[in-house]
Structure 1
């Protein structure tokens, strides 16, 4: 999920408008199986459901990218899923991958936070990217909420700082 987003995100400049004026922040309802969570987002998120039981929500613009994916807890644990993005990034053409994994809580339950920084080759130039993911279980579903932005883009950073971890 992060690989596709990183390769499609457009790194543009920004104006002087504050993110609170530019975006309509609110909570988006995410449903999968018996799980229902609400995720703070700068805009409504689109939804798609695969035949294998996974559900994917996503939204992006030229400054940031967000996605939420769920899978049945019977298929994978929080810890196993948290390790997958790291191994995928290690196998790609990205350079200078740095990761930090820490334990946290989401919805008063144990969760895993993964923070990655890496360089992405965009038209011959290295662009630094930051990816932050939260992995947690809710009512039989494992959720992966992923946020991606370029730290040199103040709008992207401010948007993600505003919404990161805002789950209820």
Structure 2
């Protein structure tokens, strides 16, 4: 349960502080220098295409770590869990349920569909919602991609303001590379 609170807090902080600006029409590849973020779960490694370095954070009183980072356009959160009994579809549904559980979030639209990552079955989710913070309503989009890798289910979440074209473009660019 602590991981859910941590992830929700990270999302809310990203939406309120990091995503308050709007994007520009600058080309994604001119704005960002993409690379491979190295992530570890147990004894396994995963190299994930990313617009910036992902920082590992430990969730208090657990063995769980998450990888996060954000800039003025987009917040990225990557989590993992042992795949024992968990599917990529369930991981996406769990991520959406976390959003729905927050009273300050109002879900406008959500979609879940099959996807592929490195030729393997995966699940993608898209969620449009608003966040009410201090009397301000912020329109937010989130793309979620869950996939299996060496015994773990990885969940990649990109969150950004719906009116930020740069954020939408960088997210689309990354998701094309991941799939």
Question: Residue 89 of structure 1: SS of its match in structure 2?
Answer: helix
Matches within 5 A, 1:113-152: 113-152=124-163
User: How many residues of Structure 1 are paired with residues of Structure 2 in the alignment?
Assistant: 168
What are the within-5 Å matches in structure 2 for residues 2-13 of structure 1?
Answer: 4-9=10-15, 10-13=19-22
8 Å Cα contact 1:64-1:147 kept in structure 2 = yes
Structure 2 length as normaliser, TM-score?
0.81
In 2, distance between residues paired with 1:15 and 1:104? 29
What is the match of residue 49 of structure 2?
40
Q: TM-score, normalised by structure 1?
A: 0.86
Structure 1's unaligned 5+ residue stretches are: none
Compute the displacement of 1:66 (Å): 0.8
Structure 2: give runs of 5+ residues left out of the alignment: 1-6
Q: 1:104-148 CA distances to partner (integer Å, 9 max, x unpaired)?
A: 111211111111110111442322111111111111111001111
Alignment partner of 1:13: what SS?
coil
Superposed displacement of residue 37, structure 1: 2.3
Q: Kindly tell me: are residues 41 and 73 of structure 1, through their superposed partners in 2, closer, same or farther at Cα, counting changes over 3 Å?
A: same
Q: CA deviation at 1:76?
A: 3.1
Q: How does 1:4-153 map to 2 (within 5 A)?
A: 4-9=10-15, 10-14=19-23, 17-50=26-59, 52-74=62-84, 76-93=86-103, 94-153=105-164
Say which is worse superposed, 15-24 or 151-160, in terms of deviation: 15-24
C-alpha change, 1:74 and 1:16, in structure 2 (3 Å) is closer
More helix by share: 2
* Cα distance in structure 1, aligned partners of 2:176 and 2:46: 12
Distance 1:15 1:114, change over 3 A: closer
Superposition RMSD on alpha carbons, in Å? 2.3
